[in-house]
Homo-oligomer: A and B are copies of this chain.
């Protein structure tokens, strides 16, 4: 049965990787990407040359279409604190306004997939975090536009599942990194790499002892592909998708610095309400997606990302010089 699929945020970091996977599907009839290029980049999908694909520059919350879709994958949202803290209302609108609008574009019986976040756990008091953990989020805090709009969009989808049987797939993504991250994204891995390649000074907020679980994008998108469309599973989420090797921010900074001789680390004041730890409990993911695992260690993943950033910066430099 040929399927029409809508992806919001498809020019983004994770979205564009997912677009590549979607275009490998034999049952894909039509793929529409909706992106307002707030944090997404046209470059991320510039390589796509597939007649089934089209791009619409629009906001997820106001996008309209002549026809409805069999599957909607809602990724439209900034994911870096630097970006969402600057425009909180817009972040809320993209997530919740987006979901409310997109639900009206889904065919009856269609599937709605949503990328939620480990940030729904806030600064967790339980480690690792299972999906059942209710979280520790300050709904009045400086990260709340993101954390709470993800939580509320989850609420909307699980409520729609409960009252109308909506077919949903909700994942909670942990820190993801890799090629196609914006150079000015502002999160740890991309920050360290772009700093190592430019100024040579890597800024660590606080003492760097805060831990994260760093997921290389290919592994994460493997999980999304299987959960969103490839595997036939009854679980609809939420499902943690991440790498459960917990590593401190400082260790990552040191590793990146080791790739750029002459670079050094500088400590700055801690970021407000920066979670102290973050690690996915993958018990459920192993049951739902047997054999799936985020296998890429940070050493390998960061080296690949480092090389990609190096090429990007070189290309940008050449473009700037020839402009």
Report A's interface with B, CB cutoff 8 A: 85-86, 88-89, 92-93, 96-97, 100, 103, 120, 122, 134-142, 144-145, 147-149, 151-152, 154-156, 158-160, 162-163, 170, 238
Contact = CB atoms under 8 A, between A and B. Distances in A.
Contact of A100 (B97, B142, B162, B170): B97
A279 B127 CA distance: 29
A7 to B, nearest CB: 22
A136 B85 CA distance: 24
A251 to B, nearest CB: 28
Q: Most B CB atoms within 10 A — which of A92, A120, A136, A152?
A: A152
A127 B216 CA distance: 42
Contacts of A162: 142
Nearest to A135: B139
Which 5 pairs across A and B sit closest by C-beta, in order of nearness? A144-B155, A88-B159, A148-B155, A152-B152, A139-B151
A269 to B, nearest CB: 17
Q: Most B CB atoms within 10 A — which of A103, A135, A159?
A: A159
Q: Most B CB atoms within 10 A — which of A97, A142, A155?
A: A155
The secondary-structure label for the interface of chain A is helix
A137 B151 CA distance: 10
A168 to B, nearest CB: 10
Nearest to A88: B159
Given A100-B97, A151-B151, A122 B134 contact: yes
A142 B163 CA distance: 10
Contacts of A152: 92, 96, 139, 144, 148-149, 151-152
Contact of A138 (B86, B103, B134): B134
A77 B159 CA distance: 16
Contacts of A147: 155
